[in-house]
Amino acid sequence: MNAPADIRPIPYSPAVEVPEEKEAETAFELKDTMHGISLKTYEDSGHAIRSVHAKTHGLLVGELTVIDGLPPAYAQGLFAEAGSYPVVLRLSTTPGDILSDDVSTPRGMALKVIGVPGARVDGSENDSTQDFVLVNGPVFSAPNAQKFAGSAKLLAATTDKAPNLKRLFSAVARGAEKAVEAVGGESVTLKSLGGHPETNPLGETYFSQVPILYGDYMAKVSVAPVSESLTALKDAPVDLKAKPDGLRDAVVDYFAGSSGEWELRIQLCTDLDKMPIEDASVEWPQELSPYVAVARLKVEPQPAWSEERAKRIDEGMQFNPWHALAAHRPLGSVMRVRKEVYAMSKRFRAERNGVEIAEPRDINFIMEKQG
């Protein structure tokens, strides 16, 4: 939608970020937990995978075009000027082990925008990418870093445990979620435990869930389908019976002959009480500040997955919100403690798999090696 004329975003101040008590210890605890998930799955398979969002359902190359003439509050950072950038897009689901798709969990979308100029966050100085890591729900499963670390321990305890039981529990959780939604509710917990409806990931709207710096301001990010062929897939069921990779099959089938277009949208923070920076479990009210389109993402027909594409993109890259311009630095305790986790995960995968995980400088790096 167009930007409302009366939006008055709150300028960023360091005072809006308040470190938690023992935040450094929490970061170490979370890193240790995620390392344990990665180690367990590596010991079982001999191959290092991500400790979350391990399973890939689509790997795509597209183009992000920044909309010309944005209002000043929205023309910030990457979006300050009109222009187009190549993008790598990864679709996934949230667990850290590779499960059959009928264990239905929330869907993820990660974007890597390539060739972005500008000052960088610490640790990303030599890169020229801007990553957005998104999930198909508006709020994070935990309010802060300490709660996040606690829930990660529960997740670690279930890694690689009784896959047949997980499928059974997922079916029960989906039934319970349907009952909750029938009376107008929604359960983030049920969805995360396998109760997500068995729907096509291409029809979903994705959210950063946690805020980022947005130039002079603060914002959350969303990517929503807008082309008719994608919006038609909203809540579209996918038959996953006896199809362990049914979601990938659905994505591959779609892009074999169709293109897709999404909007990248920004929700500016206009009220720190109702739109907190340090509580990721609060949905920012759209009546105070709606999501406004700042760019269009276009993906043409292409092979959405192949062994070679997986090798070059899935194995050879990391999608990390700390691959960022200084103008889009992640905010809040959840994102602060995640920074070292991302660094650990990259080292773990690179060392165990004997691969270089690097940030691309241009799209040719990807396209040439895909053949």
pLDDT at 370: 44
Tens-level pLDDT at each residue, the chain (371 residues): 667 768 899 999 999 999 999 999 999 999 999 999 999 999 988 999 999 999 999 999 999 999 999 999 999 999 999 999 999 999 999 888 888 898 888 999 999 999 999 999 999 999 999 999 999 999 998 999 999 998 888 777 766 654 544 444 344 444 443 443 444 555 455 444 445 888 999 999 999 999 999 999 999 999 999 999 999 999 999 999 889 999 999 999 999 999 999 999 999 999 999 999 999 999 999 999 999 999 999 999 999 999 999 999 999 999 999 999 999 999 999 999 999 999 999 999 999 999 999 999 888 766 644 43
CB 233 within 8 A of CB 219: no
Q: Are 214 and 292 in contact (CB under 8 A)?
A: no
| 134-176 per-position pLDDT tens digit | 999 999 989 999 999 988 887 777 666 545 444 443 444 444 4
Residue 240 one-letter amino acid: L
Which residues on neighbouring strands pair with residue 86, listed in sequence order? 63
* Residues 110 and 139: beta-carbon distance below 8 Å: no
Give bridge partners of residue 199 from the DSSP assignment.
237
Give the span between the Cα atoms of 131 and 123, in whole angstroms.
14
CATH of 14-370, one of 3.30.300.30, 3.40.50.150, 2.160.10.10, 2.40.180.10: 2.40.180.10
The values of phi and psi at residue 131, to 5°, are -100, 145
What pLDDT is stored for residue 173 in this prediction?
A: 40
User: What pLDDT, on the 0 to 100 scale, is given for residue 366?
Assistant: 66
How is residue 143 written in tokens?
Answer: 């309010």
Count the neighbouring beta carbons within 10 Å of the beta carbon of residue 314.
Answer: 17
Scan for tokens 């990390």, then name that residue: 320
Alpha-carbon dihedral sign for residues 286, 9, 4, 298: negative
Contact present, 336 and 27 (Cβ < 8 Å): yes
Which amino acid belongs to residue 10? I
Residue 1, judged by CB atoms within 10 A of its CB (0-12, 13-18, 19+), counts as: exposed
> How far apart (Å, rounded) are the C-alpha atoms in residues 185 and 77?
36
Task: Give CA–CA dist 170/94, Å, rounded.
Answer: 14
* Cα dist from 88 to 205, 298, 339, whole Å: 18, 11, 21
How far is the C-alpha of 204 from the C-alpha of 232, rounded, in Å?
A: 10
- CB atoms under 10 Å from CB of 226, counted, come to 15
Sign of the C-alpha dihedral computed for residues 167, 172, 175 and 177 taken in this order: negative
Half-sphere exposure of 56 (CA within 13 A, CB side): 22
β-partners of residue 43 are: none
Using CA atoms, how far apart are residues 322 and 274, in angstroms rounded to an integer? 26
Cα dihedral across residues 67, 71, 207, 225: positive or negative: negative
Confidence (pLDDT) at 105: 87
